[in-house]
Structures are given as C-alpha cells and as structure tokens.
Structure 1
Amino acid sequence: MLALLLHGGRSALGMAVGAVLLAYAVGGIVGLVAASARRRWLDELLIRPLDVLLPLPTLLVISVVAVGWRGSPLAIALAVAAVNVPPVARLVRAAALDAASGPVAEALRLQGESWARIQLGLVARSALGPVAADVGTRVTLAVFLVGSANFLGLGLSPTAPDWAVSIARGREGLLLQPWAALAPALMLVMFTVGLNLLADRVLARSRTRTQEAAR
C-alpha cells in the first residue's frame, strides 16, 4: 500500500499539472494577443470562438476523448488542457487589458520596442497576480478531472498505481482495508489544499514586497 501510495501521485499530478501548463501556454498567448489587439475585430476573432466552448460539459468532453483514444493518458491531458484554454484566455485578457492599453505600453511602442518585449516584459508581468491566484484553483480542477476519468475507468488501466485508480479499486473492500481507498483520497486532498495555501502565501509575500517598494 505504501509503495502504491508513493508511486500513485506521478500520473495523476503529472497529467494535471502538465495540462494546466499547456492551457496557460496556449490560453495565455491568446489572451495577451487579444488584450493588445489594436483592432476590435481581432479581439472578437480570438475570444468569441472560445466563448462558444465555455458551456461544454468538461467531464463529458474528457469522457468522449478517453473512449475515442482508448484511455490514453496523453489524450486525457490534452483534453483537460483544451477545456481550460477558454477560461485561461479570458482571465489573461481581462488581467492584461489595462496594462496593454495604458500609457506605459504606448510609450514603449513609440520608442520602437518589439511586441514580444512589451507583452512579456510589461503586460504579462501585470497579469501575474491574477494568474498566480488562478493557478491553485486551475490545478485543483485539473486534478479533479483527471482523477474522475481514472476513477471511472476511462483513463489508466485498473492495475495502474494511480491515486484515483487506487480509490476505485479499494472501495469494494472499504470495510476490510479502509486505508486502501482513504490514503490516496487524503493525498489528493492534501495536495490540492496545500497548493492553494502555497499560492495564497506567495501572493501575500508579493503584495508585501510591492507595498514596501512603494514606500
């Protein structure tokens, strides 16, 4: 049980964290481009198709992908990333909109600074606070989606040392050996709660440093 517990987090957490990083890589770029777009039609072209994808039931999408790709971990991770791209893009756009249209960005454009330097050096930095606050919640949701797919048997094989698979496998003998299901469930809870507490502490330290620098 201890060996399964120690090895079970690599698949669940690796798939979830990888999916969130991919979602931010794609959605972050889309959000930055939409926030800095000088033409309204470009903003609409980038954001409106993502609005159509927002109402889709995420677990249903992941289930269809898992069945179509025969439970491939890569396919599930890509599906989790895809369903997180629309909210990430909207979040980054909203957080970066003021900085992208502000006087500092306009002054940098008049000085001939490149688009990449303006976006990554100024606009993206202004969106770090909301993004950091969202990362904890986003990873928690990704862990839930990946765990749900594995728990329902749509992801990894029933013999895989995954926490969600261990929960599904140990629920039948819950009265005989409760830790077979409770231990991996506690690990999932501890990871998600700990990650959110860590994100809150990092944000608090960042605000403190900003206030001290302003003084």
Structure 2
Amino acid sequence: MNGRAPDGGTGVTAGRGQAVLGLALIAVPLLLAVAGPWFAGEPGPRGVSFTTGQGHWLGTDFTGRDVWRQVLLGGRSVVLTAVTATAVAYLVALPVALAAALTHRAWLEELLIRPLDVVLAVPSLLLLLMTAALFTPGPVGLALIVALINVPDAARIVRAAAAEAAARPAVEAMRMQGESWWRMAIGYVGRSALRTLAADAGVRLTGTLYLVATAAFLGVGVAPDAADWAVMVDHNRTGLFVQPWAVVVPAVLIVALTTGTNLLFDAGLARPGKRGKRP
C-alpha cells in the first residue's frame, strides 16, 4: 500500500481539470462583460439588416447594427443583473434560514418559513410576469425581482443544511456559555453548511442567468433594442439562417458562462479538505 487516500489522486486531478475547464469557459464572457464597453467605440452608420461583410466581421443584426459592437456592449447587463440578484437573494435568505434553524420556538420558525412557501408555490416565470405587470422595472428592479424569486428556495436549502449542525450539543453548549447569536449562526452553524451553500450557489447563479435571459426575451426590465446578449438571441433569431452570428455568438457566451460557473463550483467542492469535524 502506498498510503494515499483512496480518492486523493483521482479527486484532485478531476477537480483541477474541472477548474481549468471552468476558467477557460468563463474567461471570455467575463472579459467581454467587464471590459467590452470600453472597446466598443462609437456606433457607426447602420447597414442593411442581417448582412455579412461590408466592414462588419460578425455581420449586422436585425436593425443593421454591428454585431461585434453589440457583443462588446451586451454582457455587462446580463452578468451584473444575475450576480446582483444572486447576492441579494442570499443576503436575505441566509439570516432567515439560520434563524429558523437555530430557534427553539416553533411559531417563529413557521413565521419565517411559511411566507416563503407561498412565494415558492408560484411558478417563477409567472411571478416575474405578474411583478413586471405592476410596474416597469429597470435593471435594478429586474435584479430585485429575480432575487425575490430565488429567496424561498435558497432559504429552504440553507435551513435544511444548517438544521443538523444546529441540533448538535456544541450549539447548546455555546448557548449556555452566553455566546452571541451571530457567533453561533455564522461562526459554527453557517460554516457547517458552507459546502451545501457552495453547491447551491453554482446552480442558483446558473438559474438566475437563465431567468434574467428569459426576462430579456420577454422584454422585462430591458429595452427591446438594448445591447444585451439575451435580447440579441431573441430579436435576431428570425435571421438565424441568413446571418447566424447575431444569435450564435451571444448564445454561446451565455452557455459558456453558466457551464463554466458550475464547473468551478464543482471543482471547489471536489477539493479534499477538512470536512468539518464534529466536536
């Protein structure tokens, strides 16, 4: 026997491979989202819709605009909205979930969780359309709506992961020693649920990206002619067989970003490390 852990070499190699592939997939979309607008330049004269060549190396879109310039401008809104919505969802879900897991009062747990079940019972697309019908959201409003949609599911997953740690004798000992709620919730229970939270975060960010893209398809929170990758896919699909780059390029960027994100989170979870020893 060589003394190596059964899953040591294979697990590390697989994790590194996933990490490298994930970084490769998200590098270009993130670079375009962050730096693209700086290199977009001034809009030139519009050409004929769905043409190739004529100074446009990716052709023109449905309104005759340069596709490459739209690609450079279109990533920031998608990425920022999705990341903001995911972050806001967890900022709301984490305190609610940890409070529900740590409380000994059944009525308080019901008060915290049951309203979320009501929101969870409504299909996300229907909730998006219902909210958008009440007012016309901009990018910030769209991020808040998507965050609201994600809060119930995120809170239930975190609560389920934290409940086992909250029931350990160590938590009761911390209570008897007069430890603060934040130290118990964040320092111990929250840390015990960190792996589950990380796994959920990758899936949730992917779902949020698709929900933001769907909202853009429907014209919710985004102008119909906005420079946005999702809007480009939607509005240029009629010319897919005439000028495919206007659809294929933004669609590939969205898929690469979501797939790469999941691979990176999976790679992080695959790394061998301390599993959180129970006291």
TM-score above 0.5, yes or no: yes
Distance, in Å, in 1 between the alignment partners of 2:111 and 2:94 is 16
Matched residue SS, 2:175:
helix
Per the alignment, residue 117 of structure 2 pairs with 51
Larger radius of gyration: 2
Candidates 269, 273, 277, aligned match of 1:209: 273
Amino acid at match of 2:248: L
Shift of residue 111 of structure 1?
Answer: 1.6
Total equivalences in the alignment: 211
Q: Does 1:114 align with 2:114?
A: no
Unaligned runs of 5+ in 1: none
> Residues 77-113 of structure 1, C-alpha deviation per residue, up to 9 Å, x if partnerless?
1111111111111111111111112111111112221
Candidates 223, 237, 254, aligned match of 1:188: 254
Matched residue SS, 1:172:
helix
Per the alignment, residue 17 of structure 1 pairs with 83
Contact (CA 8 Å) 2:78, 2:229: kept in 1 or not? Answer: yes
Amino acid at match of 2:76: R
Distance, in Å, in 2 between the alignment partners of 1:72 and 1:96 is 35
Larger RCO (CA under 8 A, 6+ residues apart): 2
Distance, in Å, in 2 between the alignment partners of 1:21 and 1:89 is 13
Shift of residue 64 of structure 1?
Answer: 2.4
Matched residue SS, 1:195:
helix
> Residues 18-42 of structure 1, C-alpha deviation per residue, up to 9 Å, x if partnerless?
1111111101110000000011111
Amino acid at match of 1:80: V
Candidates 144, 156, 160, aligned match of 2:222: 156
Shift of residue 14 of structure 1?
Answer: 1.0
Structure-to-structure mapping, 1:118-137, within 5 angstroms = 118-137=184-203
| TM norm structure 2 | 0.72
Say which is worse superposed, 30-39 or 136-145, in terms of deviation. Answer: 136-145
Amino acid at match of 2:78: A
Per the alignment, residue 101 of structure 1 pairs with 167
Amino acid at match of 1:105: V
Shift of residue 73 of structure 1?
Answer: 1.7
Structure 1 runs, 4 residues or longer, greater than 4 Å off: none
Higher share of residues assigned helix:
1
Distance, in Å, in 2 between the alignment partners of 1:139 and 1:193 is 10
Distance, in Å, in 2 between the alignment partners of 1:3 and 1:202 is 35
| TM norm structure 1 | 0.93
Q: Does 1:4 align with 2:64?
A: no
Matched residue SS, 2:108:
helix
Instruction: Mark the CA change 1:109 to 1:209 in structure 2 (over 3 Å): closer, same or farther.
Output: same
Amino acid at match of 2:273: R
Amino acid at match of 1:46: L
- Give the % identical residues: 49
Distance, in Å, in 1 between the alignment partners of 2:148 and 2:214 is 16
Amino acid at match of 1:73: P
Contact (CA 8 Å) 2:141, 2:221: kept in 1 or not? Answer: no
Q: Does 1:200 align with 2:262?
A: no
Shift of residue 126 of structure 1?
Answer: 0.7
Matched residue SS, 1:175:
coil
Per the alignment, residue 61 of structure 2 pairs with none
Unaligned runs of 5+ in 2: 1-66
